[in-house]
Amino acid sequence: MTDFTTGLDDLAIETPSWAYGNSGTRFKVFAQRGVPRDPFEKVADAAQVHAFTGAAPTVALHIPWDRVPDYAALADHAVDHGVRLGAINANVFQDDDYMLGSVTNPDPKVRRKAVDHLLECVDIMDLTGSRDLKLWFSDGTNYPGQDDIRARQDRLSEALTEVYARLGDDQRLLLEYKLFEPAFYTTDVPDWGTSFLHCVALGPKAVVCVDTGHHAPGTNIEFIVALLLRAGRLGAFDFNSRFYADDDLMVGAADPFQLFRIMFEVVSGGGLDPATGVAFMLDQCHNIEPKIQGQIRSVMNAQEATAKALLVDAAALKAAQAEGDVLGANAVLMDAYNTDVRPLLAGWRESRGLDGDPIAAYKASGYFEKIVAERVGGTQAGWGA
Amino acid sequence: MTDFTTGLDDLAIETPSWAYGNSGTRFKVFAQRGVPRDPFEKVADAAQVHAFTGAAPTVALHIPWDRVPDYAALADHAVDHGVRLGAINANVFQDDDYMLGSVTNPDPKVRRKAVDHLLECVDIMDLTGSRDLKLWFSDGTNYPGQDDIRARQDRLSEALTEVYARLGDDQRLLLEYKLFEPAFYTTDVPDWGTSFLHCVALGPKAVVCVDTGHHAPGTNIEFIVALLLRAGRLGAFDFNSRFYADDDLMVGAADPFQLFRIMFEVVSGGGLDPATGVAFMLDQCHNIEPKIQGQIRSVMNAQEATAKALLVDAAALKAAQAEGDVLGANAVLMDAYNTDVRPLLAGWRESRGLDGDPIAAYKASGYFEKIVAERVGGTQAGWGA
Amino acid sequence: MTDFTTGLDDLAIETPSWAYGNSGTRFKVFAQRGVPRDPFEKVADAAQVHAFTGAAPTVALHIPWDRVPDYAALADHAVDHGVRLGAINANVFQDDDYMLGSVTNPDPKVRRKAVDHLLECVDIMDLTGSRDLKLWFSDGTNYPGQDDIRARQDRLSEALTEVYARLGDDQRLLLEYKLFEPAFYTTDVPDWGTSFLHCVALGPKAVVCVDTGHHAPGTNIEFIVALLLRAGRLGAFDFNSRFYADDDLMVGAADPFQLFRIMFEVVSGGGLDPATGVAFMLDQCHNIEPKIQGQIRSVMNAQEATAKALLVDAAALKAAQAEGDVLGANAVLMDAYNTDVRPLLAGWRESRGLDGDPIAAYKASGYFEKIVAERVGGTQAGWGA
Amino acid sequence: MTDFTTGLDDLAIETPSWAYGNSGTRFKVFAQRGVPRDPFEKVADAAQVHAFTGAAPTVALHIPWDRVPDYAALADHAVDHGVRLGAINANVFQDDDYMLGSVTNPDPKVRRKAVDHLLECVDIMDLTGSRDLKLWFSDGTNYPGQDDIRARQDRLSEALTEVYARLGDDQRLLLEYKLFEPAFYTTDVPDWGTSFLHCVALGPKAVVCVDTGHHAPGTNIEFIVALLLRAGRLGAFDFNSRFYADDDLMVGAADPFQLFRIMFEVVSGGGLDPATGVAFMLDQCHNIEPKIQGQIRSVMNAQEATAKALLVDAAALKAAQAEGDVLGANAVLMDAYNTDVRPLLAGWRESRGLDGDPIAAYKASGYFEKIVAERVGGTQAGWGA
């Protein structure tokens, strides 16, 4: 097991540029005040999260939402604000061409367009120095018979193979899965098994991305985490929480005990060690809550779950498990979970020169009032912008 | 049990004006060609569905999407096209004010605004001659603690009471429930029990609207239908189908057997009799399929399920049930379900002067090509427009 | 809000006699050592739970499993051991006659037998001084068409009416609901709405029993609790926890945050006040863990959740809610949840002369070794015995 | 696509010996009349299903439930009755030793015992000439922390490797997965991905068994079927149907459209061709319906779904899919589904010298009355016997 302080030091959470823009449901996107109007403002907001938590050193980009003429300038801008650019998220779901799919579309012209976009994303990675290409495909069908399930898998495989071949030696392809939405009958990568199958076929640079909100009801996510770590194919997390479907609430908000169990598998499987390459990212929609505060709270929730996981008495746990002591083993785990780790985390922050209470410090900083005043005019960033 | 032809004659399915406009998911609204640009064009499209099926004589409006200066003119336009205006659907979820709720918002000013809109809808009903006010509230919360569950029920009750008091003698309030979306922690009317509880408190003109896509996984919808019919509180259906959540696919597309079981409860509970007042409405989103065709297919699916339900040998079923003959009773039901009713329905259509194959007839009519050519310029209707 | 100490003092958790016997799944009932062989031994075990927690003063009986010739003797035995007899649980699901239902069976003779058993249970309540008759019906169907949904409701209503009429002035009928199992198509009382509907029809002595494991996936249980408390119809809880279906694990084991949210609604709705009559019961199956320890842990879990609920700063919460401060209101709630209440509970126990650590104290007591040694021969109690 | 008659000829459905014995839920096993008392009587009953359907030529055994001194005698008995012995199902879940798992138990002695049983099953396969060893493990945990998820995978892998090495050249290992029950927190083989991962690690003789009732709510089973067929790892089906969890109802009873979609993927993926080795088995519990009739009905349901799948106009479907004609492609599929194939199947039966109506013919045969009269005394077979 990792040492407590080392574990917290190792936990780097990437925040997504799109979390700072407006988001919503199909029913309504509510506009908030002070929302960024371009990628530079998004990066500035992300830098605030790191400034107050010390645990969010990188920011993920979404292409084309974050397309800029000069990626080096954006990277410099990030460094100037104390953060770095992270994963590149491809987007092949918001052109009218993609109505029936992108890389699995029955029309080869649309597939070509989609693959070209993915290749462009690798070009951008070369410019930004990003390690990870994150691929989520909204591809699927809405009606039985609409398309051929196996043919779509063949097309998917063909597209992934071409993109994989384009990766540099230090670059990775993260293949995300999702049960449903926006496709409502089949989704072409609906579960970890499908993602794993394709990653194994591709090679060692292809790894699975686990979005904690993308599973069927009742799915045991920490089990999947343990399996993928064991198989060397856990590439990344997209963190968020949900009560129903892909609700994209703040991670830890809906089921903090589940987040703890997930982080316990990460910790005990060695996944906090940077050498394993597991990336921790947020992917959330702050539809009704302030966005920067929502990100800060999410980072704190992830830290609290990790801190509790680090407190588990591994030797006592192993002993109880070996004896078949069901209640004893469970009690060892719960003992860590029931601990109030907030003082420990405040201490960790203060030892790094940060305020023990990131939310209060952020609120006191006046940053929110400043951006509300400054960001007048222009078009607010949001889904698709 | 109802006679087969009488049953089909009684089945009148209302189509919704918004089904003819563009719709989508939070990820993308795909634009289709020929989409209406105003309520008059929507009504014209709805009239096509009735022209080819003979079973969709009314069209529901959504306020403010279908707000017009002169409702009498819109009603006349409908009659000119062979249909009538139906239920009025209130919309209190698309103003920025409603971010934290409408009639249950903690802010009394927002609640006042929402109730005023509902009262305006009754004013419109007086003008259109509509019987039903359909209320679906997106109200709810995303995070534990965000608001007080009971206080929100009190506010809901207060709003409903005021609206109920405004209803005319022949007007009804349909209270719809939905498990989740767009609210992701609590929804203020999440299940039939909550809707029923409020309807009973209001009085006999308040009845429950069952949207077939608004339940938790595993919910037995036909059981709810049977219970509400028994209690005299089944007011209406919003028909659609789903594999996962509120997918809003064509009714009968995801689980035709479920639709049959629902219609069997309607038929055997007397719900096809117009005197019971059960309204049958579609509420769907044709995100990727042509909209008018999608509505025609849905009406046909509902007719096929109803036809099968009407074919159930009620006496044989009752006898098998009384004997505790599990397989025999099931076989009576399945015998009707397994019947191919399409020839019977073609005959019913032809006896009314319609083409036996509504889809083919519609495609041959050239209507789609006509609207694609004519509806150029202007703003396409869609969610929120 | 209730005062912290008063709240804990008010929390009395009834343990079920059947939790001390063997239980299992349809695949296997694993036998444990030291399991009781008759109702007297079960009561003795239940008394241990109270002896170490000070919060489990009553034990529920299940008829016919706990049928004894002399109920006064059993009641005296309980008092001798420091506890009292609690609710009477009727059992109309384990005779071959009940294969197609009990009170809803198509055969009137079976219905008569079932109702007679329920009336016998009220007779027993008169002897034991029990206030509550808990009714759970396994009645339902496995196949569409097997029986008439509405006819079964009529039979249910008739049976409940007869039993209700038999109740004394201070006796209550608790009507429990359950989504499924052992019936796999329809269940006659599947949800709170159905239970509520029948309770309202019966009268004020009929109230709903919420088993926390009996809901569809995604159901918001605390919402139901809040609604029933508001409507004056929350009669009791059957506590347990689940990851999938009716897993009957220890309460608080699967989702401690959900248990906290439920107890918060109880606390803020006044449900801890004995005057509201809300009964708190465990209904669990300790298939693989030691049974008495499992009960003690469950009582402690319920106490911890309640203690956290009592710590919520109600004034701060109300203020944040009124301002629409989503994150602030959530933070008030989470602040209580994240508190480690174990020292507070240890203090509460010690102030009542108990050991601060009930599990350690029980293990040190030698009781388990004693019953393993003594309870040799005879037939172990279990489901159906 | 397969020719209609060839397809039906190829569809051989194996019935399970245990379906003829008593079964039930954890609440009650209802005893039925005429139930077999030993494996020979089970085989005789299975032979009835084949005699009337012509489509159930083999019967699966469950060890130890069907342990006999002389397997050759049992095989001869089967042949005398017109059927053959099929797959061997191992059982490592009904000894007290297995309370905390079998091949994944923390105790190496229990693991040894479990593996020895699996090896014994291969010995029996050598005697019966069975091709398939079907492995379902109930192994898992009920509480977080109870055991180490990865360590259990290691133990599972070790056991499977030993058993795999023991297989003959023409023998296969079918690895079944199941979401939950009887384990309620983790299950060691919970989904197709886990099963697939282990099969790939083992080698080509290890293939996945898909039980249609073993998935999380909302899982698209036909997608899994298509993927496994594409990967050459679909070994077998355990057919049954469910509304909620692993209800084990008659296949096709809960969702006949789903069964059709599954069989369509089988047909279009070539899985009906005996050369692919896909085995079709029933695994059901006839808790309340007569068992032999339940099996006959299930075979007929599978035949009807297959017949519809064989009727799909593959060329028309492919053309509509290629054009992106969503409604057209769906209509091609639905056209086959909506066809009443019962006359076609009656014709197929009659062409093979069978009665067109297997249920009626079986009822008229007097077999049930005969076994009720004869099978008096002895112990009825059931779960665990």
The single-letter code of the amino acid at C135 is L
CA dist B45 and B51 (Å) reads: 10
Instruction: Report the residue from A185, A243, A384 with minimal CB separation from B184.
Output: A243
How does pLDDT run across A267-300, given as a tens digit for each residue?
999 999 999 999 999 999 999 999 999 999 999 9
Per DSSP bridges, beta strands C279-282 and D13-16 are unpaired
Residue ranges of E strands in chain A: 13-16, 58-63, 84-90, 132-135, 140-141, 172-176, 186-187, 206-211, 234-239, 279-282
- Give me the percent of chain C exceeding a pLDDT of 70: 99
Instruction: Report the residue from C218, C289, C330 with minimal CB separation from A327.
Output: C289
The b-or-e profile of A245-279 (16+ CB within 10 A means b, else e) is bbbbbbbbbbbbbbbbbbbbbbbbbebbeeeeebb
State yes or no: cis peptide before A64, omega within 30 of 0: yes
Chain A interface disruption, residue of D142, D158, D191, D194, most A CBs within 10 A: D191
Whether residue C109 lies within 8 A of chain B, CB to CB, comes out as no
CA dist C106 and B247 (Å) reads: 38
| Interchain contact, D216 vs A218, CB within 8 Å | yes
CA dist A379 and C89 (Å) reads: 64
For residues B16-25, average pLDDT? 96
Query: D380: Cβ–Cβ under 8 A, 6 or more apart, which residues?
Result: D21, D22, D31, D35, D36, D37
Q: Which residue's structure tokens are 């509550």?
A: C132
Are A130 and A138 a contacting pair, CB within 8 Å? no
CA dist A118 and A132 (Å) reads: 12
Fold observed for domain B11-307+353-374: TIM Barrel (3.20.20)
> Which residues of chain B are within 8 Å of residue C226 when distances are taken between CB atoms?
149-150, 153
CA dist B259 and B295 (Å) reads: 16
Whether residue B257 lies within 8 A of chain D, CB to CB, comes out as yes
Query: By 3-state DSSP, what share of chain A in percent is helix, strand and coil, each rounded to 5?
Result: 50, 15, 40
Residue A385: pLDDT band (50, 70, 90) is very low
Q: Is residue A384 predicted with pLDDT exceeding 60?
A: no
How does pLDDT run across B202-251, given as a tens digit for each residue?
999 999 999 999 999 999 999 999 999 999 999 999 999 999 999 999 99
The b-or-e profile of C96-123 (16+ CB within 10 A means b, else e) is ebbbbbbbbbbeeebbebbbebbeebbe
Residue ranges of E strands in B250-338: 279-282
Task: Name the nearest CA neighbour of A139 among A151, A128, A129, A130.
Answer: A151
Instruction: Report the residue from C30, C138, C384 with minimal CB separation from D96.
Output: C30
Q: Helix B358-365 and helix B39-53: axis angle, to 10°?
A: 130
Q: Which residue's structure tokens are 């077979």?
A: D381
pLDDT of residue C193: 98
pLDDT of residue D98: 98
Residue D385: pLDDT band (50, 70, 90) is very low
Q: Is residue B271 predicted with pLDDT exceeding 60?
A: yes
**For residue C168, with 0-12 CB atoms within 10 Å meaning exposed, 13-18 middle and 19 or more buried, which class applies?**
exposed
Q: Is residue B298 predicted with pLDDT exceeding 70?
A: yes
| Interchain contact, B190 vs C223, CB within 8 Å | yes
State yes or no: cis peptide before C64, omega within 30 of 0: yes
Q: Which residue's structure tokens are 């068992």?
A: D291
Give chain D's end-to-end CA distance (angstroms, integer). Answer: 43
> Which residues of chain A are within 8 Å of residue C255 when distances are taken between CB atoms?
255, 257
CA dist B325 and B328 (Å) reads: 5
How does pLDDT run across C154-171, given as a tens digit for each residue?
999 999 999 999 999 999
Whether residue B288 lies within 8 A of chain D, CB to CB, comes out as yes
Whether residue C117 lies within 8 A of chain B, CB to CB, comes out as no
pLDDT of residue D271: 97
The CA dihedral of D313, D318, D319, D324, to the nearest 10 degrees, is: 130
Q: Is residue D97 predicted with pLDDT exceeding 80?
A: yes
How do the domains of chain A map onto residue ranges? Answer: 11-307+353-374
Chain B interface disruption, residue of C156, C321, C334, most B CBs within 10 A: C321
Whether residue C255 lies within 8 A of chain A, CB to CB, comes out as yes
Residue B385: pLDDT band (50, 70, 90) is very low
How close B179 comes to chain A (CA, Å)?
9
How close C125 comes to chain D (CA, Å)?
24
CA dist C198 and C214 (Å) reads: 18
CA dist B11 and B34 (Å) reads: 29
How does pLDDT run across D215-239, given as a tens digit for each residue?
999 999 999 999 999 999 999 999 9
For residues B314-322, average pLDDT? 98
Chains A and B form CB pairs within 8 A to the count of 107
Are D383 and C26 a contacting pair, CB within 8 Å? yes
| Interchain contact, C249 vs D142, CB within 8 Å | yes
Task: Name the nearest CA neighbour of D14 among D65, D66, D64, D49.
Answer: D49
Q: Is the dihedral of CA A43, A45, A48, A53 positive or negative?
A: negative
Instruction: Report the residue from D93, D242, D247 with minimal CB separation from C28.
Output: D93
Residue D1: pLDDT band (50, 70, 90) is low
Chain C interface disruption, residue of B142, B149, B242, B246, most C CBs within 10 A: B149
> Which residues of chain C are within 8 Å of residue B222 when distances are taken between CB atoms?
149
Q: Is residue B383 predicted with pLDDT exceeding 80?
A: no
Q: Is residue C385 predicted with pLDDT exceeding 60?
A: no
State yes or no: cis peptide before A69, omega within 30 of 0: no
pLDDT of residue B26: 94
Residue A1: pLDDT band (50, 70, 90) is low
For residues B121-126, average pLDDT? 98
Q: Which residue's structure tokens are 């109690």?
A: C381
How close D3 comes to chain C (CA, Å)?
33
Residue D382: pLDDT band (50, 70, 90) is confident
Q: Which residue's structure tokens are 């222009």?
A: A378
How does pLDDT run across C327-345, given as a tens digit for each residue?
999 999 999 999 999 999 9
- DSSP secondary structure of B172-207: EEEEE--SSSS-SSEESS-SHHHHHHHHHHH-TTEE
Are A93 and B28 a contacting pair, CB within 8 Å? yes
Whether residue B289 lies within 8 A of chain A, CB to CB, comes out as yes
Whether residue D93 lies within 8 A of chain A, CB to CB, comes out as no
**DSSP 8-state assignment for residue D15:** E
For residues C358-378, average pLDDT? 96
Q: Is residue D384 predicted with pLDDT exceeding 60?
A: no
> Which residues of chain D are within 8 Å of residue C142 when distances are taken between CB atoms?
247, 249, 287-289
Residue A346: pLDDT band (50, 70, 90) is very high
Contact partners for chain D, using 3 or more CB pairs closer than 8 A, are A, B, C
CA angle B166, B167, B173 (to 5 degrees): 120
State yes or no: cis peptide before A182, omega within 30 of 0: yes
Residue D115: pLDDT band (50, 70, 90) is very high
| Interchain contact, B329 vs C146, CB within 8 Å | yes
CA dist C195 and B354 (Å) reads: 47
pLDDT of residue A183: 98
Residue A382: pLDDT band (50, 70, 90) is confident
Residue D345 CA: distances (Å) to CA of A361, C125, D295? 75, 59, 17
Residue C173 CA: distances (Å) to CA of B256, C135, C136, C145? 40, 7, 11, 31
Task: Name the nearest CA neighbour of D13 among D260, D354, D306.
Answer: D306
Are B13 and B281 a contacting pair, CB within 8 Å? yes
> Which residues of chain C are within 8 Å of residue B257 when distances are taken between CB atoms?
144
Whether residue D376 lies within 8 A of chain C, CB to CB, comes out as no
Q: Which residue's structure tokens are 């059992």?
A: C91
Whether residue A92 lies within 8 A of chain B, CB to CB, comes out as no
For B68, other C-beta atoms within 10 Å of its C-beta total 17
| Interchain contact, A245 vs B245, CB within 8 Å | yes
Whether residue B220 lies within 8 A of chain D, CB to CB, comes out as yes
How does pLDDT run across C260-278, given as a tens digit for each residue?
999 999 999 999 999 999 9
> Which residues of chain D are within 8 Å of residue B338 when distances are taken between CB atoms?
304, 340, 342
Q: What was the ipTM of the complex prediction?
A: 0.97
* A131-150 residues touching D, CB cutoff 8 A: 142-150
For residues D108-117, average pLDDT? 98
How does pLDDT run across C18-75, given as a tens digit for each residue?
999 999 999 999 999 999 999 999 999 999 999 999 999 999 999 999 999 999 999 9
Chains A and D form CB pairs within 8 A to the count of 156
> Which residues of chain D are within 8 Å of residue A151 when distances are taken between CB atoms?
321
How does pLDDT run across D31-58, given as a tens digit for each residue?
999 999 999 999 999 999 999 999 999 9
| Interchain contact, B338 vs D342, CB within 8 Å | yes
Instruction: Supply the pTM of this predicted model.
Output: 0.98
For residues C134-163, average pLDDT? 98
Whether residue C184 lies within 8 A of chain A, CB to CB, comes out as no
How does pLDDT run across B141-174, given as a tens digit for each residue?
999 999 999 999 999 999 999 999 999 999 999 9
